[in-house]
Amino acid sequence: MSRVSQQLGIAHFSCIEMRPADFVDLAGQVGYTSVGLRLHPAFPGAPFYTLAPGSAQMRQTKAALRQAGIGVYDIEFVVVDGAFSPTDLSAVLDSAAELGARRLSVCGDDPDKGRFVANLSALAELAAAAGIAVDLEVMPWREIGTLDAAVKAVAATGMTNVGVLVDALHLARSGASPEDLAGLPPSMIRSVQLCDAHAERPKDTAALIAEARGGRLLPGLGALPLGELLGVIPQDAAISVEVPKGAETDEAHLRALFDATTRILRTTTSAT
């Protein structure tokens, strides 16, 4: 079955300097069916936006969503580390619920695996009360740095609203392959982020981080096995694209990403 009709979302990090309402407006014009919004800092000093319920910024963003006819798929990005407290995210979850977001994206960076699972479970309970699911993203420089570790952590929560977010770059750089996803329960993988990259893996952690934050390529312009990845993920998994912008204009970048990704989807046949 071809993925040519697959709906496509775009991560806010692709044009993170755009305020949410403007990002939504442009994404809708280009043809995306959903957006991710960065409402929490992914790392110290990282840009993010506060959309408090009832605020002018929230009203503008909701109006842009209605006008564009698209939705918010996920809210980014939370690092669950040793200092994390689930209740710290109450305001973010309130904003996510106001926006109608479906999922919250997190990563794991707590060396105490028992505490991490407990915090992930507690966060999932809070999110469930707001009608939101949680995606745990593998990042090779974090404590939860492999697909196996992420799958085990998700399973350990026993929560039905927790899954693993598969980022094509992180999957490859963590040493996994699309084949490693084939045996997982379909409910484990609900969200997939696409990009491309050069074949050679960066040599150290600093280079891995630099590549993830500024060295991604448009889908189809690198060596990642995107066709194989799309062939093993569940047919109904949500797909988005995440490639931070370079020197080109916002519109040119979003259109180039859309065109490149839809070409990949058009030529890929699902094995499921």
pLDDT at residue 110 above 50? yes
Phi-psi region of 121 (alpha: psi -120 to 50; beta: other; left: phi over 0): alpha
**Model confidence over 161-202: pLDDT tens digits?**
999 999 999 999 999 999 999 989 999 999 999 999 999 999
- Residue 1 CA to residue 231 CA, distance in Å, equals 10
| CA dihedral for 51, 57, 58, 60, sign (positive or negative) | negative
Structure tokens of 245?
Answer: 């912008």
State the pLDDT confidence band at 269, using cuts at 50, 70 and 90.
low
Angle at 11 between CA 127 and CA 87, to 5 degrees: 25
Q: How far is CA 10 from CA 70, 184, 209, 247, in A?
A: 11, 25, 20, 18
Q: CB 166: neighbour CB atoms within 10 A?
A: 29
Residue with tokens 């305020």: 19
SS3 label, residue 194: strand
Reduce the DSSP state of residue 21 to 3 states and report it.
Answer: helix
pTM to 2 decimal places: 0.94
Residue 240's contacts (CB-CB under 8 Å, 6 or more residues apart) are 8, 9, 10, 11, 34, 36, 73, 74, 191, 192, 193, 194
Q: Which residue in the block uniquely carries the two structure tokens 């490693």?
A: 180
Domain architecture of the chain: domains with CATH: 8-266 (3.20.20.150)
Q: What is the pLDDT of residues 10-60, one digit of tens each?
A: 999 999 999 999 999 999 999 999 999 999 998 888 899 999 999 999 999
Q: What is the pLDDT of residue 2?
A: 52
Q: What is the pLDDT of residue 44?
A: 84
Answer yes or no: is pLDDT of 6 > 50. Answer: yes
The dihedral through the CA atoms of 122, 239, 22, 99 has a sign that is: negative
Strand pairing class (34-38; 162-167): unpaired
- Residue spans of alpha helices (H) in 90-224: 90-99, 113-129, 147-157, 168-173, 205-214
Interhelix angle 113-129/90-99, rounded to 10 degrees, is 40
CA distance 53 to 29: 25
Q: Give the pLDDT score at 270.
A: 41
pLDDT at 105: 97
